[in-house]
Every structure is written in C-alpha cells, then in structure tokens.
Amino acid sequence: MTTKNTENLNISAFDTMPTPEEIHARLPISEKAAKTVNHGRNLLRKILERKDHRMFVVVGPCSIHDPVAGLDYARRLKKLADDVGDTLQIIMRVYFEKPRTTVGWKGYINDPFMDDSFRVDVGMEKARQFLLDVSEIGLPTGTEALDPISPQYYGDLITWTAIGARTTESQTHREMSSGLSTPVGFKNGTSGDLTVAVNAILSASKPHSFLGINSQGRVAVVRTKGNDHGHIVLRGGDGHPNYDTVSVALVEQALSKAKLPHNIVVDCSHANSSKKPELQPLVMADIVNQVRAGNNSLLGVMIESNIEAGNQSIPADLSQLKYGCSVTDGCVDWATTEKMIRDAAIMLRDVLPTRLS
C-alpha cells in the first residue's frame, strides 16, 4: 500500500450523472408550464409585498413516491384551486428529497424505485417529468431545497421553496437560497429557535459567492444577487406549537428588530400538530381566526395532505402499497383537505381585502 493513498478512502464509486443541460434537453419546459411558474411566482411576490390581498396555501403529500397518485391528487387540487382562487393561492407541495434524522428512505430522487438501488440519475429525470406534468395541469409547485445541486436540474419549474428546520442554520443553504429564483420560506429550528430563521432571511438577502455547478455540470463559482423574498415558516419545536397569538407576536417582534417585513407562514404539521395529522384542521382554523381578528402578518399556511389519511411503511412487495397514502409523515385525506381550504376561503373572503386598505 502506497503512503500517498490519502483520498477517497470511504468512496466506493463515482457514478456518472447526466448534466442539468442534458436533462433539460430531454424534458424542456413547455410554454404552458413556464406560464404557470411565472404567474405563480409573480402572484406570490405580490402577496409578500402586500400588493395582493390573498393568502397562499402550500398543500400536498409529505413526499412524492407514486407519480400516478401524485397527478391524481394534482388534478383534484387544480379544481379546488380554481374555486378558491379569489381568496387563496394554492401551491402544490411536491417534495422529492427527505431529510432523515438517522436513516430511512430519502425520497423519490435518491431512490425512485424504493429498493435501495439509489438510481439518482433516473430519479432526477422522473422528478423533472412530474414537475412538468403538474405545471402543465396549471398548478404552481413548492418544494424543499435540500441538495444544493438539485435546483440546477428542476428549479425552473418551482414557484416556492422551503428550507427545512435541519438546514436553515446551514451556510450552504443560505447561500443557495440567495440565488434561487423563487421566494424562500425558512423554517424555525427543530428546537423552536427563531433566531436561526431570522438570520437565514438576512443572509439570503445578500449576494454570495460559493462553489456549485453550472448547467453543463462543470464546477463553477456561483455568484448570486441576493433574494429579497425570504420569510419565516413556523413549524413548532421540541414538541411544542408556535402558531398561537403569543408566539406570532414574538415572531413579529423578532422580525421588527431585524428590520424585516412581518411575513409569516405557519406549517400546520410537525410540532404544531404534535405530529398528529388529524390536528392540522385545528391549526388551520386557529390561523383563520387570528386573521379575522386583525392579524396582518400571517400570509400563508402549509398542509401535509394526500388522497388517503395517515401513512404506511414501505413493504418488501411494493405491489402492496396503499394507493394515495404517504410513506413518510402522516397526512390528512382529500375530503379533509378540501373542507379545510373551502372553509378557510369562506371565512377569509371578505376579510383579506381589508388588510390592504
């Protein structure tokens, strides 16, 4: 053994990955999809800038694992979005990458066949195809940016981006967010700490230079302009919710101290519902009541929703998977989702326009 062997000691292989340019060429963005994305982003920016009275709702499966069921869900959601569009901007939650506390299925891109084959090259192309299909239905999409390289492959199809509780404090993700083409929601830390999210918004609003890849797959120094549409997402922490009026008031104070707009989104899931999906409607109703009572800072909500309620483990025989049921966090079912959103639209229809007056 040579004494010069000092690198890649724990690497088993470097498998070739298609470049972003190659995958874009195989699955180019259509005119209809581009119109969906641009319209969704423009409307979302107007909401955050208080130029549009609507609130936005990021709703959909905890993660995508079955594109057939995912598109079934998207078609249902598009009809609902059209019905409530005067009051709520609906964005479909399309999550492909799942952060894990220890180990587990890391999502549709990492392991699209759910068999530990880890065909990331296939997963990336399938993810882009799914986003194209949803965008062509006419629904804008939201996702979590976990891997800093992935946005080069499908970022042109995303309307809203989340940075998760585990990565909000990460310099890599703050730098990446400063160059994303979408508004970005930063979740508070898993402990409930707000400071990391406030600092992330400030950091992402500034220009950065960092290592990344370009569309040809070459390593590049990425130089960003800064993202002016960062905002905070409350998801609770350490098993405690933080969507109540006192918690929201404390967030407003923290944002004021940092000289940031009072733009707050509430995640109805995670610690805010004690990881019990059936409690999400209560969180949503509370947010609606706060807005009706005069709160001007609450601009959006997130809901984990699927065709069927709850979740399921991934079986050895994938044919045994229950259709339209999450394989990660538990979700509310479609009937509950529709009721939550329609009820919110009715309760907010006459109230939201007054927030701009």
Over the stretch 139-192, which tens digit does the pLDDT of each residue have? 999 999 999 999 999 999 999 999 999 999 999 999 999 999 999 999 999 999
**Residue 4 in this model has a pLDDT that exceeds 60:** yes
**Residue 102 in this model has a pLDDT that exceeds 60:** no
47 DSSP assignment:
H
pLDDT at residue 306, rounded to an integer: 98
Q: Is residue 283 part of a domain?
A: yes
Distance between CA atoms of residues 325 and 313, nearest Å: 10
Tally of CB atoms within 10 A around 82? 12
Q: Is residue 8 part of a domain?
A: no
Q: Is residue 7 part of a domain?
A: no
- Number of compact structural domains in the chain: 1
Span 220-243, average pLDDT: 97
Q: Is residue 278 part of a domain?
A: yes
List, in sequence order, every residue forming a beta bridge with 66; answer none if it has no partner.
none
Range of the domain at 163: 20-45+56-95+129-356
69 DSSP assignment:
H
- Exposure of 348 by Cβ count < 10 A (0-12 exposed, 13-18 middle, 19+ buried)? buried
Q: Is residue 218 part of a domain?
A: yes
CATH classification of the domain holding 243: 3.20.20.70
Q: Is residue 272 part of a domain?
A: yes
pLDDT at residue 101, rounded to an integer: 57
Span 240-265, average pLDDT: 98
Largest CA distance in the chain: 76
pTM for the complete prediction? Answer: 0.96
Q: Is residue 9 part of a domain?
A: no
- Per-residue pLDDT band at 3 (split at 50, 70, 90): low
pLDDT at residue 103, rounded to an integer: 62
Q: Is residue 31 part of a domain?
A: yes
pLDDT at residue 356, rounded to an integer: 86
